[in-house]
Structure 1
């Protein structure tokens, strides 16, 4: 059976959910092989998780030198693994850093590059959504080893026992890969809410909330659902929340199981970032708002009445 490589994303010794989704997706093409690139000890901390989700092998490219530089060394290390394993494909989660790694890798190995896939089949065909997700297309690499990035939440993680055999990979970094060095790292303070980009439930607020102080309504509803919090571009531009919370074409692209849009009209810029969500719920007092064209469930009403009632009802049912 052909091997399919998956680049592992891990934080604090825990594999991120999009990587588990990739391991699940990889089984449609062949036998999953996980690639761990980073500081010494990274692979040991995550091997059990990778085995639980079907990784037959764990390729380990670790060194303090690799960890000291951004992006370029990871692409060189991944290229070394590709040369050693001759895989049928390489899968990465769609993130800003991973897309750059994917582009560098495709150039190095002469493979086709496919971004932001939302589906994948056994023949290597990928499903993508273009023009603001208004059109769905099927694409396939016609040259070399395909390098594919998949959007988070496109596949449900499914456990499948793998041997997780450890394979050491020796990597000698080029001078070009060391042209930019990490001089300092700042750990972002995070609350208890899920990360927006890979959350399974997202609640977003729009211009309809009226002012920054009212955004707490969105946060309370999100917390009742255990959801990440997002916002429309209008809210970000008004300075009510930081840009990191913006969902849309120029913000974060999300694809959760449930997306709740509160007070969002549904401009194309916003829709491009969320319309691949599995189930969409919209709350808006304007019955003609474009968001209702996308919504699976819509509530025409005042968000200041509907959202708190919804929060209370969810809290009661959870209790």
Structure 2
């Protein structure tokens, strides 16, 4: 168990509540925010504390009010024209000031490109530790410590990290790891609008253009069905077969690191410890042996189907359904069956 360095003596009893730093992009709430609310609710209930979401932006009242349907006790709406678009300096200052004023006990941030940008800056300014890329969070009720678990040493072991004498306790959590909070028609909490003190000269970067995602760009974290290929495909032509199956199922194609490193597919498709973490309803692993680094990114899938010629492949120990056979024979038969249905 690793302990964060103690920077100062503080009164731990003056810190309270669980915070989720929400994320919205162009008026759309990021999925990881709903996942963190789901996990934050569990932690808050165990500690008998409030769950509060902090969301920054401008003219995003609909997003803010929608969060109340996910079981939160309060939403701090950081409203400012300078926060209309994501701003590293603006959000960092606004959230830091709010943390120093309100003193939350635990702060959760999504391990997205934006979350990874602001979380270490905030932690540095408030003088606390930050555990990155967590895959599990638990509470030690003896002294209200959060046990933050993350893969270490290339995913070969899991490290549990605590921050016993600094507050707040901060974690970034991988998208797709935690279960989403359930939407309810009932509104539980309230919104508190806060106008942060921000000045134009604080914002050192200027947004010039927003380039939307192309329609064919992969979004693995949202996919309900994923067909993934590994070293067993033998060549990039194998992904043509996998894509045909994925299209029939209305899913996305993904890959192991071995397939990406071989140059067979773009890195955006990579699932695993050094790629994307996914939680689809169905994950079909084709020619993937089941290395621990890959399993770390997909083992929370509801159903795992493995296709591999090696009956001793580790993937068969974690899958729900296993098919021992040549994927180039199995998958065409699956496609044919789907066409007949």
TM-score using structure 1 length: 0.83
> For the residues of structure 1 that align with 2:84 and 2:127, how far apart are their CA atoms?
25
Aligned to 1:171: 196
| Match for residue 46 of structure 1 among 28, 44, 63 | 63
Instruction: For residue 322 of structure 2, give the secondary structure of its aligned residue in structure 1.
Output: strand
Relative to structure 2, which stretch is displaced further, 121-130 or 137-146? 121-130
CA distance in 1, matches of 2:110, 2:248: 28
The aligned length equals: 314
CA distance in 1, matches of 2:201, 2:225: 41
Structure 2 unpaired stretches of 5+: 1-14, 141-145
Q: How far off its partner does 1:304 sit?
A: 1.6
Q: Give 3-state SS (helix, strand or coil) of 1:183's partner.
A: coil
Report what 1:217 is aligned to. Answer: 241
Contact 2:41–2:72 under 8 Å retained in 1: no
- Kept in 1: contact 2:134–2:149 (CA 8 A): yes
Question: 1:11 offset after TM fit, Å?
Answer: 4.3
Match of 2:157 in 1: 135
Establish whether residue 62 from structure 1 lines up as the match of residue 53 from structure 2.
no
1:205 correspondence with 2:229: yes
For the residue of structure 1 that corresponds to 2:132, the secondary structure is: strand
- Unaligned 5+ segments in structure 1 are none
**Runs (4+) off by over 6 Å:** none
Q: Secondary structure at the match of 1:100?
A: helix
Q: CA, structure 1 residues 141+259, in 2 after alignment: closer, same or farther (shift >3 Å)?
A: farther
- The CA deviation at 1:285 is 1.8
Which residue does the alignment assign to 2:170? 147
Change (3 A) 1:234 1:139: closer
Answer yes or no: is 1:184 the counterpart of 2:201.
no
Shift of 1:59: 1.4
**Alpha-carbon deviations, 1:136-173, whole Å to 9, x = none?**
34333221101112222322423454444222222234
Taking the TM superposition and a 5 Å limit, the aligned residue runs for 1:102-141 are 102-123=119-140, 124-141=146-163
Task: Calculate the aligned-residue CA RMSD, in Å.
Answer: 3.1
Q: TM-score, normalised by structure 2?
A: 0.78
Within 5 A, what are the aligned runs for 1:228-307? 228-256=252-280, 258-267=282-291, 270-275=294-299, 277=301, 279-307=303-331
